[in-house]
């Protein structure tokens, strides 16, 4: 039974109610002060409280996605796995000791508004677990394969990739149930507004519950390495996707948007473009990050200052889209970043930054849903067709 399943939550909730009722019923029978009756009262209270805490914990975890499986919670299945062969005709990840494996996820079965039909007609969404060789990290995510992926006519074609990132503390499932990402992608692709693209739906919180802001933490999780190196390597080992950075893009909202900007500016050899919805432009330092992620290393922290990088380091070959609203709290910071980036784009044609602002809207899924279609169209316009093909058998 999966950690995030509604069945588990229901069973624990029923047990909590029964334990509470049992405590009320048995309490008069344990009213005396003999050792056994005192232990009985303590046992009843402890059981009822532990079950209530379990219900609260499951509800919190299902809402924010700190852990996606029992293995994730118990820190199993985090080993470094052998790199699998890049199979030419596969329509999904192979089984066995590879970097990408199928992941059982009951929550995917509960998403009822996915495109309906055969994979060769509407594409397919799979739940997978990806493991990294360099970072040693592992996480569950979803992947959307477009209809063309299953069409024999495209059997030798590699596809561009869009990595989409949820916020913190968020779960990849939010990209399906709240943003309806596969549904939006399918609608744009079938109407010719988006090229056939493999879409990966992940979360930035790969070292749950800590928010590592997609940076390589000194002495801690190498989250940037995970997204910039491990994830592309793993996906290329299992799917027919492009090896060219210009055919890879990243899009995210909130913390995921901040990660998207950092990956595009710091790792242009991995991602050639990025769209950031309601991002922040400085690495945070609070309870969620566990304090200063850089341990007081100012030189390392400066390397993650996006505006500083644009004016002090070689300008990367990348395209950025900044998306927000004029009533959002981050609007002044967004304007400051755009003001810093504009002259760089004018002096360096290999770098460009565009912006999109709604007149109103907050830091919410309702706003991000309104912004997503235009952001996906922009991504498709800046996502180069894959220049490589599978070799002939």
Do 106 and 222 lie in one domain? The reply is yes
Question: Percent of the chain having pLDDT more than 90?
Answer: 60
Position 74 in a domain: no
Do 124 and 243 lie in one domain? The reply is yes
Do 92 and 53 lie in one domain? The reply is no
pLDDT value of position 378: 97
Sheet order of strands, 351-358 included: 100-102, 124-131, 138-145, 198-202, 161-165, 248-253, 273-277, 318-325, 351-358
Residue 230 carries which DSSP code? I
Among 13-17, 72-76, 166-170, name the one with the lowest average pLDDT.
72-76
Do 235 and 133 lie in one domain? The reply is yes
Do 135 and 214 lie in one domain? The reply is yes
* 30-77 residue pLDDT tens: 777 788 888 888 888 899 889 898 888 777 666 544 555 565 555 444
Position 69 in a domain: no
Higher pLDDT, 174 or 66: 174
* 18-29 residue pLDDT tens: 888 888 888 887
pLDDT value of position 392: 65
Do 46 and 186 lie in one domain? The reply is no
pLDDT value of position 10: 85
Instruction: Compute the CA torsion angle 290, 293, 296, 298 (nearest 10 deg).
Output: -150
Higher pLDDT, 232 or 102: 232
pLDDT value of position 55: 84
CA 366 remoteness from chain centre: 18
Do 155 and 213 lie in one domain? The reply is yes
Among 149-153, 206-210, 353-357, 359-363, name the one with the lowest average pLDDT.
206-210
Decide if pLDDT at 163 tops 80: yes
Strand 248-253, strand 198-202: pairing = unpaired
pLDDT value of position 7: 78
Position 373 in a domain: yes
Mean pLDDT score of the chain: 86
Position 388 in a domain: no
pLDDT value of position 136: 93
What is the rounded distance in angstroms from the CA atom of residue 161 to the CA atom of residue 264?
14
Match 């000194």 to its residue by tokens.
218
Q: Residue 356: which pLDDT band, with cuts at 50, 70 and 90? A: very high
Do 184 and 307 lie in one domain? The reply is yes
Domain containing residue 99: CATH number: 3.40.50.1820
pLDDT value of position 339: 94
Position 287 in a domain: yes
pLDDT value of position 89: 37
- Burial (CB < 10 A; 0-12, 13-18, 19+), residue 116, is exposed
Chosen domain end from 29, 64, 99:
64
* 268-294 residue pLDDT tens: 999 999 999 999 998 988 888 889 999
Query: Which residues are CB-contacts of 120 (< 8 A; sequence separation ≥ 6)?
Result: 147, 150, 151
Do 300 and 336 lie in one domain? The reply is yes
Position 362 in a domain: yes
Residue 47: which domain range? 6-64
Do 298 and 211 lie in one domain? The reply is yes
pLDDT value of position 90: 41
What is the rounded distance in angstroms from the CA atom of residue 229 to the CA atom of residue 135?
9
Chosen domain end from 35, 64, 93:
64
Most confident of 51-55, 92-96, 249-253, 359-363: 249-253
As a whole number of Å, the CA-based R_g of the chain is: 23
Among 42-46, 121-125, 197-201, name the one with the lowest average pLDDT.
42-46
What is the rounded distance in angstroms from the CA atom of residue 319 to the CA atom of residue 240?
24
Q: In total, how many domains does the chain have?
A: 2
Higher pLDDT, 241 or 6: 241
pLDDT value of position 76: 46
The partner residues of 162 in beta bridges, in order of sequence, read: 199, 249
Q: What is the mean pLDDT of residues 112-132?
A: 90
Using alpha carbons, select from 88, 392, 391 the residue that is nearest to residue 239.
Answer: 88
pLDDT value of position 81: 26
Q: Note whether 209 and 180 are within 8 A (CB).
A: no
pLDDT value of position 170: 86
Do 103 and 154 lie in one domain? The reply is yes
pLDDT value of position 383: 93
Q: What is the mean pLDDT of residues 239-246?
A: 95
Among 102-111, 136-145, 267-276, name the one with the lowest average pLDDT.
102-111
pLDDT value of position 160: 97
Do 241 and 285 lie in one domain? The reply is yes
Among 1-15, 114-128, 318-332, 337-351, name the one with the lowest average pLDDT.
1-15
Position 70 in a domain: no
């Amino acid at each position: 039974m999966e950690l995030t399943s509604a069945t588990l939550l229901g069973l624990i909730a029923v047990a909590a109610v029964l334990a509470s009722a049992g405590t009320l019923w048995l309490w008069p029978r344990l009213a005396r002060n003999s050792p056994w009756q005192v232990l009985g009262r303590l046992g009843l209270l402890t059981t009822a409280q532990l079950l209530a805490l379990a219900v609260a914990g499951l509800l919190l975890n299902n809402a924010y996605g700190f852990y996606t499986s029992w293995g994730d919670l118990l820190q199993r299945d985090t080993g470094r796995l052998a790199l699998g062969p890049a199979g030419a005709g596969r329509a999904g990840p192979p089984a066995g000791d590879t970097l990408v494996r199928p992941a059982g996820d009951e929550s995917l079965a509960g998403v009822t508004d996915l495109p309906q039909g055969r994979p060769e007609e509407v594409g397919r969404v799979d739940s997978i677990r990806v493991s990294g060789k360099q970072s040693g990290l592992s996480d569950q995510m979803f992947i959307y394969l477009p209809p063309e992926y299953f069409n024999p006519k495209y059997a030798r074609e590699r596809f561009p990739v869009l990595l989409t990132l949820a916020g913190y503390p968020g779960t990849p499932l939010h990209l399906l149930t709240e943003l309806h990402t596969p549904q939006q992608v399918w609608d744009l692709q079938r109407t010719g507004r988006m090229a056939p693209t493999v879409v990966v739906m992940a979360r930035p919180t790969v070292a749950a519950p800590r928010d590592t802001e997609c940076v390589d933490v000194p002495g801690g999780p190498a989250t940037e390495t995970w997204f910039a190196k491990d994830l592309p390597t793993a996906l290329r080992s299992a799917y027919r996707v492009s090896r060219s950075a210009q055919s890879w893009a990243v899009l995210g909202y909130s913390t995921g948007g901040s990660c998207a900007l950092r990956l595009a500016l710091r790792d242009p050899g991995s991602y050639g473009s990025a769209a950031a919805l309601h991002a922040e432009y400085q690495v945070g330092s609070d309870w969620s990050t566990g304090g200063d992620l850089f341990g007081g290393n100012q030189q390392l922290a400066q390397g993650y200052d996006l505006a500083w990088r644009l004016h002090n380091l070689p300008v990367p070959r990348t395209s950025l889209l900044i998306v927000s609203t004029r009533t959002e709290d981050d609007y002044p910071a967004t304007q400051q970043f755009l003001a810093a980036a504009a002259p760089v784009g004018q002096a360096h044609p290999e770098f460009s930054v565009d912006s999109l602002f709604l007149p109103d809207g907050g830091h919410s899924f309702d706003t991000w849903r309104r912004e997503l279609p235009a952001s996906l169209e922009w991504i498709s316009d800046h996502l180069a067709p894959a220049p490589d093909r599978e070799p002939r058998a």
